[in-house]
A = this chain, B = another copy of it.
Amino acid sequence: MTLAEAVTPFDTKTRILNAAEKLFGMNGFDATSLRDITAEAQVNLAAVNYHFQSKDSLIDAIIARRILPINQRRLEKLAAAGHPPSVEQIVEAFLAPLLMPEMLPAIPLIGRVMSNPDQFFERVFKKHLQHVAERFSQAIREALPELSPEEAFWRLFFMAGCMTQVLALSSVLPLLSGQPVDRHALMRRLVNFVAAGLRAPVAAAAPMRKEP
């Protein structure tokens, strides 16, 4: 056992994944070189290409490692809710899996891929999120049958957007708010806000008033 292994007791592949997740999350994909990653992981530069073929495939691997268990837990929590589920149950099923302690180091990265249009559609939505979104959209219409499918879709998008922005800017939230941030208190505020938004009375299609 070398010194590096004693300090960071994981195999090379895992060390690369952990280092890449941290640096990609902190500085972004383009701004993080494979050399940065191998320095942080204390592995050789060529090990990245040996284990992951390319930087691009490494990014895919990092995303999949985190988003698959999150989605699994989301669907489990949604299935465990009643029929119809309460609005709060839906919101919690969607958000709570991100609060699991083992997800903490991945939060900046998740915020990035969810808010970056380059990554988002092909790399995240189509591959990992589409079926989950459909399931949650159904649940929203069960809980709030007065919503049209379009309205339910957009409200789901706004819910995800609120969450994403919290994740994406998590590193600067203490600076923005001027004080330390309690993640669980923040999550309660977010659930409260989003649940009210989901329940909003359906507005008239046009700006002018119509019959009620």
Residue numbers of A with Cβ under 8 A of B are: 27-28, 30-31, 108, 111, 115-118, 120-121, 125, 150-151, 153-155, 157-158, 160-162, 164-166, 168-172, 175-177, 185-186, 188-190, 192-203, 205, 207
Contact = CB atoms under 8 A, between A and B. Distances in A.
Nearest to A164: B165
A194 to B, nearest CB: 7
Contacts of A168: 115-117
B203 A188 contact: yes
8 contacts: A155-B189, A157-B166, A158-B162, A158-B189, A158-B194, A192-B203, A193-B198, A194-B197
Contacts of A30: 28, 30-31
Nearest to A202: B192
Contacts of A116: 28, 115, 168
Contacts of A154: 177, 186, 189-190, 193
Given A120-B172, A121-B176, A153-B177, 5 more contacts: A116-B168, A121-B175, A161-B164, A188-B203, A196-B197
Contact of A165 (B155, B160, B192, B195): B160
Contacts of A205: 185
A183 to B, nearest CB: 13
Given A165-B164, A197-B197, A176 B125 contact: yes
B115 A115 contact: yes
A187 to B, nearest CB: 10
B28 A118 contact: yes
Nearest to A168: B115
Nearest to A151: B189
